[in-house]
Amino acid sequence: MFEKKKHLLYFAMFFILYELTVYLSNDMIMPAMLQVVKEFNASNRNISFSLSLYILGGSMLQIFLGPIADKVGKRKVMLVGNALFLVATLAIPFVSNINQFLIARFFQGMGSCFIFIGYAMIHELFDDSDAVKLTAILSNTTVFAPLIGPVIGSGIIHVLPWQAIFGVSLLLGTIAWIGLYKFMPTGLISPGKFELAKVRDSYLTIVRNRKFMFGIFIAAISITPLTAWIGLSPVLVMEHIQASYSTYIVYQCVIFTGFIVSSVAIQRLGKKLQLERLIRQGGALAIVGLLGAGLLRDSGHLFIACMFVFSAGFGLFNGSLIRLSLMATGVSMSLTSSAMSLLYCVYIAGGLELYNLACDRYGYSISTYALFNVPLAVCIYFGLQLFVRRHEAQQARLAHAASGA
């Protein structure tokens, strides 16, 4: 039993490294994107657009990967996906114009298509408490990457050309591939032949599940302010307000440290996790943070402190919201996770482009970004409260039905 658990922990470690590498490959290049667009004589709008394409690339294969993973095993699919990421990463340093750069980034983003497979494995192999803890750690990589990515990227471009950043991604991705090859389990495999009609019916069951669809929508719009900050902050901070690389890095670290703090708090709760309570409390922190950032948008450090509060709130409720949403369908975790990833990426990419359009229209000011967050904060808060109320009502009905039986 100990050896099995040790093997699973190694798998989780290398999967975390793979996910971190995928996100780092984006976040390390963000400080250098002003150099990239200048080198290719392109508009600043391509900075955020490259992130949108990267995210969209992460949605292109989802609908196919779930059924394939169920039939051939999650391990094989994950290894192929990691290899695809490595090939695209290797190609980027050799592009010669902005269009080639954007296309390569799109294909590199496809590497994130395969992340859901690791999440599905975790929800298959662990109970509620451990799954939420691991989900919090895994979600941490989404935010830990923009915390350390700009630091690493800024350090690299001070001594090497921006292309070297992708050499780091290539090295880390190769280590992750070797570790997954050695330690990743095959996962559950569905017996019988592949039946397209059955897969179609399963996906229809998933998308007709209101709890799942609503939960994933709220999860996606909740992370969009942080994603938009990643894509827009090089222009907002370093060009619009003429701040230095060091100020840009400090801002990133302060904002995304909030997510780290909330994840540590979740780990310390141990078996006392109450998913509904985490969602409610996290939602309250999130709306306070975004509304405060909108109000204090011209106050520099106070704006950043409010974004820290939002990040902490998001970290509290994100893992619980995703857990309850994924468990709502009763369909294969691979198919449910692939549907989640597809919707998640499309929602985030669409939201990011709306931010980009607004900021492009009004000169990429922090005020535009902060005010755009205000109505979204209200939607996030009331969406979370509605989700919890519906979940608790559903659980009460199920308990009543069980006691009546």
Written as tens digits, the pLDDT of the chain (405 aa) is: 445 567 777 888 898 899 899 989 988 998 899 999 999 999 888 998 999 999 888 888 877 777 788 778 888 889 999 999 999 999 999 999 999 999 999 999 998 888 878 777 777 766 666 666 666 666 667 667 777 888 899 889 989 999 999 999 999 999 999 999 998 887 666 655 667 788 788 889 999 999 999 999 999 999 999 989 988 988 888 888 888 888 888 898 899 888 878 877 876 765 566 888 899 999 999 999 999 999 999 888 899 999 999 999 998 898 889 889 988 888 877 778 778 888 888 899 899 999 999 988 888 899 999 999 999 999 999 999 999 999 998 888 877 777 765
Closest CA to 249 of 5, 32, 16, 3: 32
CA distance 332 to 165: 38
CA 64 vs CA 70, 139, 257, 339, 401: distances in Å: 10, 23, 35, 10, 37
CA distance 65 to 84: 14
Q: Is 313 exposed, middle or buried (0-12, 13-18, 19+ CB in 10 A)?
A: buried
What's the topology of domain 2-187+194-399?
Growth Hormone; Chain: A; (1.20.1250)
Reported residue count of the chain is: 405
Sign of the Cα pseudo-torsion (187, 144, 156, 100, in order): positive
Q: Indicate the helix (H) or strand (E) that contains 82.
A: helix 74-91
Rg (CA), the chain: 21
CA distance 286 to 381: 7
CA distance 244 to 313: 28
Any idea which residue has 């799954």 for tokens?
131
